Amino acid sequence: MDGMHDLGGRQGFGKVGFTPKASPFQAAWEKRTYALRTMAGQLGVYNIDEYRHAVERMDPRHSVSASYYERVLTAIATLLVEKGVTTRAELEELAGGGFALSHPGAGGRTNAPDRKSFQRGERVRVRNDFVPGHVRLPGYIRGKTGVVMVEGPLTPFPDAHAHGLEAVDEPTYDVQFRSEDLWPGGAESAVIHVAVFQSYLEAVA
């Protein structure tokens, strides 16, 4: 899904704010929200890719104005309603008013039928795919070429895992990109490493 959530690699946002030794929680409800997310995941109510997709499905205006834990709470509530654990009416009664949920999800996809294994040092290109459902492909590397450094362990394929589709687990590859290739004329010389699922890659002839 090529949505508001995928801001990695975008330019023009200024410096990233950072407060050393800052608390990860600013309010008590944030701790409870984090605990609820962890508990629901451990109980198997949803998996990590379903959770990520619920965040992605938030209304864009809500997403950009919400804090981190607001997005977490919206995703949890959306999944609990979709899984039949609670209802929107029950949430609104507890909240004393409206309770925003994410939009319905789009269909996912299974593994790429022509995926192949790659070796260290092999040049690969990231597929220029636009997917309506969940995808773990950062937009800023789409269509770009890099070099395989390491093959990672087998992992559930997120495009299917977020939608309850059958798929085989596949590795991610640590792919090294040059900043000049990702942002031509707009970045200092550097190398960037991204973990890229096998189905997102194709060999460079």
Label residue 155 exposed, middle or buried (CB < 10 Å: 0-12, 13-18, 19+). Answer: middle
5: pLDDT strictly greater than 70: no
Express each pLDDT in 180-191 by its tens digit: 999 998 888 999
Domains of the chain, residue spans:
1-105, 123-203
Express each pLDDT in 23-48 by its tens digit: 999 999 999 999 999 999 999 999 99
6: pLDDT strictly greater than 80: no
- AA letter at 18: F
53: pLDDT strictly greater than 70: yes
CATH 2.30.30.50 for domain 123-203: yes
Structure tokens that stand for 34 in this block:
């984090």
Helix (H) or strand (E) holding 56: helix 48-56
2: pLDDT strictly greater than 80: no
CATH class of 1-105: mainly alpha
CB neighbours (10 Å) of residue 112?
A: 18
Least confident of 20-24, 25-29, 161-165, 192-196: 20-24
Express each pLDDT in 71-120 by its tens digit: 999 999 999 999 999 999 999 999 999 999 999 988 899 999 999 999 99
Cβ atoms 129, 135 nearer than 8 A:
yes
DSSP 111: -
Helix (H) or strand (E) holding 150: strand 145-155
Which pTM was predicted?
0.90
Q: For the CA atoms of the chain, what is the radius of gyration?
A: 19
Which of the four pLDDT bands, split at 50, 70 and 90, describes residue 12? confident
Mean pLDDT, the chain, rounded, equals 93
Distances (CA, A) of 10 to 7, 81, 116, 182, 185: 6, 33, 30, 11, 14
Supply the pLDDT for residue 4.
64
3: pLDDT strictly greater than 80: no
| Mean pLDDT of the region 133-148 | 95
CB neighbours (10 Å) of residue 111?
A: 18
Q: Whose structure tokens read 């990702």?
A: 182
